Amino acid sequence: MIPRRAVITGLGVVAPGGVGVKAFWELLSSGRTATRTISLFDATGFRSQVAAEVDFDPLLEGLTDRQAGELDRVAQFALCASAQAIADAKLPVGAAPHRTAVSVGSAVGCTMVLEQEYVRLSEHGTNWLVDHSRAAPHLFQALMPSTVAAEVAWLAQAEGPCAVVSTGCTSGLDAVAHAAALIAESSADVVLAGASDAPISPISAACFDAIKATTPRNDDPAHASRPFDRTRNGFVLGEGAAMFVVEEISAARRRGASIYCEIAGYGQRANAYHMTGLRPDGVEMAEAIRIALRRAALAPDRIDYINAHGSGTRQNDIHETAAFKRSLGAHAYATPISSIKSMVGHSLGAIGSIELAACALAMQHSLVPPTANLDEPDPDCDLDYVPHVARERSLRAVLNVGSGFGGFQTAIVLTDTGLRDAE
């Protein structure tokens, strides 16, 4: 049986710099940054005191009193982005519930509520034994990451497969790849897919401080995220969500849906090497890229743009540069590459989906978003990393890659449908 094709017909974004697709794209296309001094908690004394925060009011964004009062910020982001995606796709909610699925990625789940409740119940950590009778009645929901997928399923009236994908910083890519697989194998006709994370909290910041992964450039938050720059010194923590309506292509066409792009291929690998380390040769990421290209039935020279992982750490930048050369050959030198983490930070599991949204919009607008703050290119990163200013370019095939602690490597190829129709 020929695998069915999966297309994106709706998208929604909650990101630093503004809620909604319009604000998100305006930020990226202008090359502005949304990184700033942390305001969600008192970061005094932390090594890294900068982040890319979302200015978000759940009630103003249409959530109910229950959702605003009981749900962790991560679930609120997911619901807001899902509602945007459903409206954008003009999806008839509830029309075929058993053929509608949910696939949500998250790296750290409901961290904020769990931490806040522990701090409250333990009297700021002074009590080893806590009084369970004082716990919020919805605390169990925060313990279970499946809460996020369940809330999205209720919103979409989805009664098909429902899953949370948690593979660290590749969760947002892997959740969308899972959606495409559900479509391909005919387990669903429509999937609400994407990812959400809200990790800007003391415990998350402390974890990254401990391994010196985040930047200490606290005196210049707007320019703290510097992928591929010689002066980079760690990533900037972010938050947000992006959700998509993913549909089987013929069904989408029958209902007259507007199609952003096709999820043409994906590949996933692990390096089984080190919890946080990466081999400089980039072999695992290169293999994930090759698998994605093979599934998409595309030669390497068909790729028009690469949205890089581009976290802002030297080992990642070297690893990625090697992977692009290894997988694309000489075409790597002719392909524009950029990292939007320079503008919206690194939102852990959510960032892969946020980057996929950027790719879909880049294809729609024929514009490559830039890498902000790339003032002094690292000579070891000698590819075209599109500094400062967006670049006009027709984009028919785009590659998005992600890399996560634990050795996770994922690549997804998006194409316009005409490219695949012609094959």
C-alpha torsion 38→39→41→42, nearest 10 = 80
Which one-letter amino acid corresponds to residue 244? Answer: F
Residue 13 host element (H or E): strand 6-15
Q: What is the DSSP string of 364-389?
A: HHTEEPPBTT--SB-TT--S---BSS
Which one-letter amino acid corresponds to residue 130? Answer: V
Between the alpha carbon of residue 98 and those of residues 79, 256, 328, the distances in Å are: 20, 21, 41
Count of residues making up the chain: 423
CA–CA separation, 10 and 245 (whole Å): 5
For 132, counting Cβ atoms within 10 Å of its Cβ (0-12 exposed, 13-18 middle, 19+ buried), the class is exposed
Nearest to 138 by CA among 51, 71, 39: 71
Residues with Cβ within 8 Å of 301's Cβ and at least 6 positions away in sequence, in order, are 328, 331
Our measurement of the distance from residue 412's CA atom to the centroid of its chain's CA atoms, rounded to an integer in Å, reads 12
Q: Is 207 a catalytic residue?
A: no
Q: Is 223 a catalytic residue?
A: no
Q: Are 145 and 233 in contact (CB under 8 A)?
A: no
| Number of other residues whose CB lies within 10 A of the CB of residue 330 | 9
| Number of other residues whose CB lies within 10 A of the CB of residue 335 | 18
CA–CA separation, 324 and 312 (whole Å): 17
Catalytic residue among 80, 110, 162, 169: 169
Q: Is 274 a catalytic residue?
A: no
Residues with Cβ within 8 Å of 220's Cβ and at least 6 positions away in sequence, in order, are none
Three-class SS state of 247: strand
Catalytic residue among 110, 178, 309, 319: 309
Residues with Cβ within 8 Å of 84's Cβ and at least 6 positions away in sequence, in order, are 10, 11, 12, 13, 20, 21, 243
Active site residues: 169, 309, 346
